[in-house]
Amino acid sequence: MSTTASQVGNPGSAGGTRHRASSLPPTRPPRYSGQWTALAFAAPLLAYLAVFYALPLYRNIDLSLHHYTVRAFVRGDAEFVGLDTYRRVLTDGTFWPAVRNTLIFVLGSLAVQYATGLALAVFFRGTFRLSGLLRALFLVPWLLPLIVSASTWAWMLNSDNGIVNALLAALGVDQVNWLTSPTAAIWSVTLANIWLGIPFNLVILYSGLQNIPADLYEAASLDGAGPWRSFWSITFPLLRPVSAITLLLGFVYTLKVVDVIWVMTTGGPANASTTLAVWSYREAFGTGQPDFSPAAAVGTLLILIALVVGLIHLRVQHRLEEA
């Protein structure tokens, strides 16, 4: 795995200063003292993982296996119902719309973010004036609080007074009810999420490009390969491991997104932009009456999806390394 780490681990950042972690090969210093000392240094983390990850996760699964009402929640005497809540969630009318919306949101975001990020990374690979500064500016959307970006997009996409519809009107296109139409809402939140994800894709793919030796391109151009040809024969194949990581991380992040959608549409109209994560959030915290058990069950499903994709990724990567 160290190959992957060193390939992507070289940011070649805008300031021109390289991060040392990546440029140095991993060394294996001798053991300094016993395992007990090591354990002592790791103890805060191990305790932290147990108390602040394992315990909340345990509570989450516990919530999904019992029938929790608000009263039972406070008193702690909820009835054990086993997988009943899961059955209820899977047959709920919201389930399939949520799955469909999650697919649109995640796959739509990933495809466009990745393609745009890659195009920009290739663009910035060439040296030109201001390229460092401009590349740094592309990071800004990624650093802002999501609620800031989401509310800005909500106002830009506002049906009556939004700038987007004003631009479309200038082009002679009819007004679109971006956030209030059942068909457009999911695409609108996906659009905002794509905008948010481009910087991340740009940075990782750009640093991946930095590790492709320039002489490969020189050789290719001597052989008469044009830019298009060298992209498909050199850049894209050599970037595959970095692309895989970018897409995996993008998948995991996008699957969890609640705030962007919640701020823009609260999952509506009806369930038109409700993803699994938003559904879970709404059941637990989004209405006056918290319903923790189904929310926790949907949450568990989300973890399972992320894990399956993570494991597939590890396997594929393993095979790539063996090949």
Q: Which of residues 285-314 bind another protein (CB under 8 A)?
A: 285, 292, 295-296, 299-300, 302-303, 306-307, 310
Alpha-carbon span 65 to 162, nearest angstrom: 45
Question: Among 15, 172, 224, 226, which residue sits at the site for another protein (rule: CB under 8 A)?
Answer: 15
- Binding mask of the shown chain, residues 224 to 263, with x at each position contacting another protein by CB under 8 A: ------------------x--xx--x--x--xx-xx--xx
Binding piece for another protein, criterion CB under 8 A, among 16-24, 81-89, 94-102, 103-111: 16-24
CB atoms within 10 A of CB 218: 11
Pairing of strands 79-80, 66-67: antiparallel
Q: Give residues 204-223 in contact with another protein (rule: CB under 8 A).
A: 204, 207, 214, 217, 221
Alpha-carbon span 64 to 62, nearest angstrom: 5
- Residues 83, 140, 173, 312: which binds another protein (CB under 8 A)? 140
Of the candidates 124, 110, 129, 138, the residue with the CA atom closest to the CA atom of residue 247: 110
Residue at 121: amino acid letter: A
One-letter amino acid of 274 = T
Site for another protein in 142-181 (CB under 8 A): 142-149, 151-156, 160-163, 166, 169-170
Nearer to another protein among residue 86 and residue 124 (C-beta): 124
Nearer to another protein, 93 or 226 (CB): 226
Backbone angles phi, psi at 66, to 5 degrees: -115, 165
Q: DSSP string of 90-113?
A: HHSTTHHHHHHHHHHHHHHHHHHH
Instruction: Please say which residue, 104 or 305, places its beta carbon nearer to another protein.
Output: 305
194 interacts with another protein by CB under 8 A: no
Whether omega before 269 lies within 30 degrees of 0, making that bond cis, reads yes
Name beta bridge partners: 66.
80
Task: Say how far apart CA 80 and CA 96 lie, in whole Å.
Answer: 26
Interaction mask 32-71, another protein, x per CB under 8 A? xx-x-xxxxxx-xxx-xx--xx-xxxxxx-xx--------
- String marking each residue 79-118 x if it binds another protein according to CB under 8 A: ----------------------------------------
Count of CA atoms in the C-beta half-sphere (13 A) of 141: 21
**Shortest CB 14 distance to another protein, Å:** 6
Least distance between another protein and beta carbon 278 (Å): 9
